[in-house]
Chain A
Amino acid sequence: MTNQNSFQLSCPMPKFDFDVITLGHGSGGLLTHRLLQSGVFDILKNDMLDQQHDGASFLLEGKTAFSTDSYVISPIFFPGGNIGELAVYGTVNDLAMCGAEAKYLSLAFIIEEGMTMESFWIVLNGIKKAIDKAGVKIVTGDTKVVERGKGDQIFINTSGIGIIHPKAHIHHDRIEVGDQIILSGNIAQHGIAIMSKREGLAFETDIVSDSNNLNHTILALINELGGDIKFLRDPTRGGLASVLNELAEIRKLGFLIDQNSIPIDDQVDGACEMLGLDPLYVANEGLFVAIVKKEAANKALAFLQKDENGLNARIIGEVTDTHAGKVMMKSRIGGHRVVGYLTGEQLPRIC
């Protein structure tokens, strides 16, 4: 299976008395019990999950944020990660964009009958690696199995709850003319890494996904700059262009970005050229956009560039009072164009 061999298992696979997941593993009966007991509970172990109750109970102090997302990515193993890590980082990052530190996650699997235990084990290890890195706990979960052909190996849903940093004041209402747009790193890494492995598209490259947790970076940034960080968003599906368009539309302000300052890896840029894709619309996983008060932008940038998730951060543009509701881009050669919404899926071009 693609890239799965390159994944270093942090826990050796236990011996199962089955090689593939069957419908019985989702029945709630003996097989479900065995599947959970022989691996899942061990690897995700914590005091709340260990109670094996219907739900988790806990006390939270402070303003909280709550978020959910489902992960249906294909292929489930890709350069730089797998669906398990993505499912954790995705929800952790969504909470971070609210200015919140993720505390507890729920984890639900919908597995397609026939998925190999080995694959499932690698996904679980991905989840383990991600929760350790992000510092969150899985406190409740669910496993269902659907008939072969009714899924795509595995779908995962995670929901998360987190505590909002006391200094955070993240709201699009706060965005004003003059605010600076900071992008935390190279765009389009994730989407192109996935595409490089899809059936029929395989091309040789060492592009890896940027899939990563952003909570530590974001919380440190908020701690340092407080309310000067006015808005945060991770440009996942739909890419940078969609995030900026949504903001321009909601706030009825103009967003002007400069193509020359948008960081992109050479290989990713080349792959986009070759495939006829616009990197502004390609998905990212470990990237965020911050709208920052003008006077604080350089300080925020310098702070970010010291963080592993912000080494390539750049100020890519600003909020303007012209072309309200639209995103404009100054092209490489100095021309201007509108950057609109993506219509449907970005489809590869003929020539």
Chain B
Amino acid sequence: MKFLSEYRDPELVQEYIKELHRITTKNWTLMEICGGQTHSLVKNGILDMLPEKITMVHGPGCPVCVTSVSVIDEAVWLAEQPNHILCSFGDMLRVPGSKKSLLEAKAEGADVRILYSPLEAVELAKQNPSKEVIFFAVGFETTAPANALSVVHAAQQNISNYSILASHVLVPPAMEAILSDEANVIDAFLAAGHVCTIMGLDEYYPVAEKYKIPIVVTGFEPVDLLQGILMAVQQLEKGTYTVENQYSRAVLREGNKMAKDTIEKVFSISDRVWRGIGSIPQSGFEVNERYKSFNARLKFHIDIPFAEENKECISGDIMKGLKKPKQCPNFGTKCKPEHPLGAPMVSSEGACAAYFHYSSDTIAQ
């Protein structure tokens, strides 16, 4: 496949591995932000090929994993109201809320649909004028433009039975939360390529400067990841700390202006509770004042108690890189993909699920 096979070239992979072995002199801990990167590292068996001195820890960049229990409960509540259609990306369906998941609500009769694009939800609202159609707008900066665009489209067409339950999260505040933790172990970041395709590089410079930490914006294929790791290790070995762009075939320094404008039009920055990490100030998008009639939270007066996280799940430590999935006493025993204690075991991009499915030495017997 053009633009993919070149980045999966086994010979090129070996060259990068060799170079990494050659230049690495000290122990370094790198965090890849994005769940897609975690998945690719584990699925391709890259972790076992890296020099022993390099430790990869898996960051909080899986939107499914960081969506709080309370937000799942809100979505379930919305889905269960009469005449409601709740639309969601597929992998949110299995995430357990405090009582049930959307998949369980669906089995009990709620109208829950899996869509690939929020614009399809707007169409669905048009086709079902007597029903309320709600889109579960989760994701990082990557999915925000399309979700915002759905609101703009609905507003333009005066579709009043459409709204979104926004639970967007932002990468830079999460990086700062991780770096300011006393127990922080991270020496360098691989920033999430897709997020930067939208947002560009600018917001990462202050982070690199303030915490004196190299940040390499990195893609998702094996060669991308190894090149990103190499660029980060080169900086670490030299003692420099700046923002570099490995994923330049997709990421421009200024990002995607049109996408950013659309986000700005519909969303405002708000505090957000991250599953396993807690509340991080100014770390999410919420529907702004101008489009408040499309905000499902305001439209339906969702009245449910705040739900606590499962205490047995150490997802917070895993997403901050303080622990590896296999260091959790419940990994593969009490907590498995078919009955997850926490979200990293649910999503295919969650660090625990990636280890459970693909990693030979960690899989539970």
Query: Which A residues are closer than 8 A to B by beta carbons?
Result: 200-201, 266, 269-270, 273, 275-276, 323, 326, 328, 331-340, 343-344, 347-351
Contact = CB atoms under 8 A, between A and B. Distances in A.
A349 B91 contact: yes
Contacts of A276: 348
B92 interface: yes
Nearest to B63: A350
Given A200-B120, A334-B14, A334-B45, A350 B357 contact: no
Contacts of B103: 344
Nearest to A334: B10
20 contacts: A200-B114, A273-B1, A326-B363, A331-B44, A334-B49, A335-B45, A336-B48, A337-B45, A337-B360, A338-B358, A338-B359, A338-B360, A343-B337, A348-B91, A349-B89, A349-B347, A350-B89, A351-B36, A351-B63, A351-B194
Going nearest first, the 7 A-B pairs with the smallest beta carbon separation are A335-B45, A347-B90, A348-B90, A343-B337, A337-B358, A350-B89, A333-B13
A201 B116 contact: yes
A334 B363 contact: no
Contacts of B338: 343-344
Contacts of B337: 343-344
A338 B358 CA distance: 4
A344 B348 CA distance: 12
Given A349-B90, A351-B194, A335 B48 contact: yes
B265 interface: no
A57 B357 CA distance: 50
Contacts of A338: 357-360, 363
Contacts of B115: 200
B356 interface: yes
B142 interface: yes
Contact of A350 (B44, B48, B92): B92
Nearest to B146: A351
B189 to A, nearest CB: 19
B60 interface: no
B46 A347 contact: no
B307 interface: no
B8 interface: yes
B94 to A, nearest CB: 6
Nearest to A349: B91
Contacts of A332: 8, 10, 44, 222
Contacts, number: 102
B43 A347 contact: no
Contacts of B143: 350-351
A251 B141 CA distance: 47
Contacts of B1: 266, 269-270, 273
The residue among A326, A332, A347 with the most chain B CB atoms within 10 A of its own CB is A347
B21 interface: no
Contacts of B120: 200
A338 B44 CA distance: 10
Contacts of A336: 45, 48, 360
B10 to A, nearest CB: 5
A282 to B, nearest CB: 14
A201 B116 CA distance: 7
A346 to B, nearest CB: 9
Contacts of B48: 335-336
A333 B222 CA distance: 8
B111 interface: no
A335 B49 contact: yes
Contacts of A273: 1, 4
Contacts of B8: 332-333
A326, A335, A336, A340 pick with most chain B CB within 10 angstroms: A335
B352 to A, nearest CB: 12
Nearest to B88: A350
Given A331-B45, A347-B93, A350-B138, 12 more contacts: A273-B4, A328-B360, A332-B10, A332-B222, A336-B45, A336-B360, A337-B42, A337-B44, A337-B45, A339-B358, A350-B91, A351-B63
Contacts of A328: 360
A344 B94 contact: yes
B335 to A, nearest CB: 12
Contacts of A270: 1
Contacts of B360: 323, 326, 328, 336-338
Interface string B63-93: 1100000000000000000000000011111
B116 A348 contact: yes
Contacts of A333: 8-10, 13, 44-46, 222
B244 interface: no
Name, among B8, B36, B90, B349, the residue most crowded by chain A CB atoms within 10 Å (CB to CB): B90
A281 to B, nearest CB: 11
A200 B357 CA distance: 28
Contacts of A339: 358
A334 B358 contact: no
Contact of B139 (A200, A337, A347, A350): A350
Interface in B101-152: 103, 113-116, 120, 138-140, 142-143
A335 B46 contact: yes
A336 B338 CA distance: 24
**Chain A CB within 10 Å, residue with most, of B42, B114, B139, B359:** B114
A347 B91 CA distance: 5
Contacts of A331: 43-45
Most buried by B among A276, A333, A348: A333
Contacts of B89: 348-350
Contacts of B116: 200-201, 275, 348
A300 B343 CA distance: 46
Contact of B64 (A266, A269, A334, A350): A350
Contacts of A351: 36, 63, 139-140, 142-143, 194
B134 to A, nearest CB: 15
Interface in B274-318: none
A249 B164 CA distance: 45
A74 B8 CA distance: 35
Contacts of B138: 350
A269 B8 CA distance: 14
A6 to B, nearest CB: 24
Interface string B32-61: 000010000011111011000000000000
Nearest to B43: A337
B46 to A, nearest CB: 6
